[in-house]
Amino acid sequence: MVYESKFYCISDGKPLPAVIRNYTKADFDELIAIQSECFPPPFPEELWWNMQQLTNHVTLFPEGAICIEVDGKLAGSMTALCVQFDPQHPSHKWEQITDNGYIRNHHPNGNTLYIVDISVRPSYRKIGLGKLMMQAMYQTVIQLGLERLLGGGRMPGYHKKANELSIEKYAEAIIQGKLKDPVISFLLSCGRTPTSIIENYLGDEESHHYGLLMEWRNPFK
């Protein structure tokens, strides 16, 4: 299944031609450059996408490897795999469920599209590209007949409130609109629904290693 959607996005009041499509080997160098812009030092360079991970994405599950171009320039990417998910047993780690981003555990007959990563170049933020890619993944969920889209959201604002609030109270305050979190507030704006808090989800000191599991249910299921 090949995905391609052409449209216009608005930047500073100017319509710019854009396309969401599956990424290919020809995009690999630019995808790694995007990661370097999104995760600059002191973020470890070895945690950016590498050629083997990207090769696995386009080989094992090309439907889950999408990117967005704006006016001919690659501006962001999003990657997913299929997993068999049991809502009664939600606990997991990012490295376990994504195979550290190598997705060799992709389950072709799984019931859930799991988001591995989303990245948008800093210079292209604030024009809705992340939300557009998320919508494309929702369409993929429907096309493949899956039950849900799922992923764990970091809570990078939590370290500023950890002395005042438990992680449960922090998440509740974001959902109620009393606080904003760069990741969770964005995912809420994309139509994602929180389901559970996961301990030791990711090695992420800002989030105190927590992740907030958030889903989008296929409305036709």
> Do 187 and 124 sit in the same domain of this protein?
no
Say whether both 72 and 163 belong to one domain: no
25 and 95 part of one domain: yes
Give the tokens for residue 42: 């002191």
**Same domain, residue pair 105 and 180:** no
CATH of the domain at 53: 3.40.630.30
Per-residue pLDDT of the chain (221 residues; tens, 9 = 90+): 899 999 999 999 999 999 999 999 999 999 999 999 998 876 778 878 999 999 999 999 999 999 999 999 999 999 999 999 999 999 999 999 999 999 999 999 999 999 999 999 999 999 999 999 999 999 999 999 999 999 999 999 999 999 999 999 999 999 999 999 999 999 999 999 999 999 999 988 999 999 999 999 999 99
What's phi and psi for 204, nearest 5 deg? -145, 100
Which among 146, 177, 200 is the end of a domain? 146
What's the total number of domains in the chain?
2
End residue of a domain, out of 106, 123, 146? 146
Same domain, 124 and 66: yes
Are both 81 and 17 inside the same structural domain? yes
Domain that holds residue 34: 1-146
| Model confidence, pTM | 0.96
* 116 plus 135 within the same structural domain: yes
